[in-house]
Amino acid sequence: MDPAPPWRVALTGGIASGKSTVAALFAELGVPIIDLDLIAREVVAPGTALLNEVIEEFGAGVRCADGTLDRRALRERVLRDAGARRALEALLHPAISARATEHSASAGGPYQIVVIPLLAETGAAGEYERVLLIDCDEATQRARLALRDRLEPGLIEAALASQVSRAARRAVATDVIDNSGAAAALRPQVQALHQRYLQLAEGRTGELGASAPEPVGKSR
């Protein structure tokens, strides 16, 4: 008999909402993390054919002097140009999806966290047993982008505009962590969800897909 497929939670959220921070807290609890942002770096690592395709598509301006991908230059390019963003997604998404499937198959664990920033945009929520949204208001996102990425105001607005609305993300969520406040508030929320997910995974239940978001402590 083939082993049961991994019980997976999609972790999503808007830009600068705190997805990586929350994923790290789950990792501390021994949960396997499949992070599509990290996989996106793997598939364009130096020496890969896909890196050459990206540079061919976007030009020498997105290549660093050492031959690696200039991520900041590429990011600014796609934030300013929706067509460029779609072209980049068309190049990267198939490779990212394939690599994520490989990681998930070998990661094991009672359940897995799959970090997918663009989950609501891609309509893939139904592929996961739960959808965990890391949520915060846009003012908090703007402040974090300015501090973390040192983006100019125009690029910050472009970054926010490139993603679906906060309401659209909440519409696909089964669980919500509020990250509008202090980072210290995240750990107890993660610990509560971890216990919930362990119980659900053991029973192999979880309402595949999503309907309405639930705050931590009120998960279905």
- Amino acid 218: pLDDT: 41
Could you tell me if 33 and 19 are in contact, meaning their C-beta atoms sit under 8 angstroms apart? no
Could you tell me if 131 and 169 are in contact, meaning their C-beta atoms sit under 8 angstroms apart? no
- Amino acid 142: pLDDT: 92
- Amino acid 22: pLDDT: 97
Q: Which of 91, 107, 123 is the last residue of a domain?
A: 107
Is 7 in the same domain as 114?
A: yes
- Amino acid 48: pLDDT: 93
- Amino acid 2: pLDDT: 53
- Amino acid 208: pLDDT: 46
Give the tokens for residue 97. 């999806």
Query: From CA 93, how far away is CA 87, in angstroms rounded?
Result: 10
Query: From CA 131, how far away is CA 165, in angstroms rounded?
Result: 16
Owning domain of residue 208: 1-32+109-220
- Amino acid 1: pLDDT: 45
Query: From CA 84, how far away is CA 77, in angstroms rounded?
Result: 7
Is 21 in the same domain as 122?
A: yes
Is 83 in the same domain as 126?
A: no
pTM of the model: 0.84
Closest CA to 116 of 44, 170, 37, 171: 37
Q: What is the pLDDT along the chain (220 residues), one digit of tens a residue?
A: 456 678 999 999 999 999 999 999 999 999 999 999 999 999 999 989 999 999 999 998 999 988 899 998 998 899 889 899 999 999 999 999 999 999 999 999 999 999 999 899 888 899 999 999 999 999 999 998 888 888 888 889 988 888 899 999 999 999 999 998 888 899 999 999 999 999 999 886 555 444 344 555 444 4
Is 157 in the same domain as 96?
A: no
Query: From CA 183, how far away is CA 34, in angstroms rounded?
Result: 22
Helices (H), the chain: 19-28, 36-42, 49-58, 71-80, 82-107, 119-122, 138-148, 153-161, 166-171, 186-203
Is 219 in the same domain as 150?
A: yes
Query: From CA 155, how far away is CA 146, in angstroms rounded?
Result: 10
Residue 126: CATH number of its domain: 3.40.50.300
Q: Which of 107, 127, 151 is the last residue of a domain?
A: 107
Query: From CA 69, how far away is CA 184, in angstroms rounded?
Result: 34
Residue owning tokens 């089964």: 174
Phi-psi region of 34 (alpha: psi -120 to 50; beta: other; left: phi over 0): beta
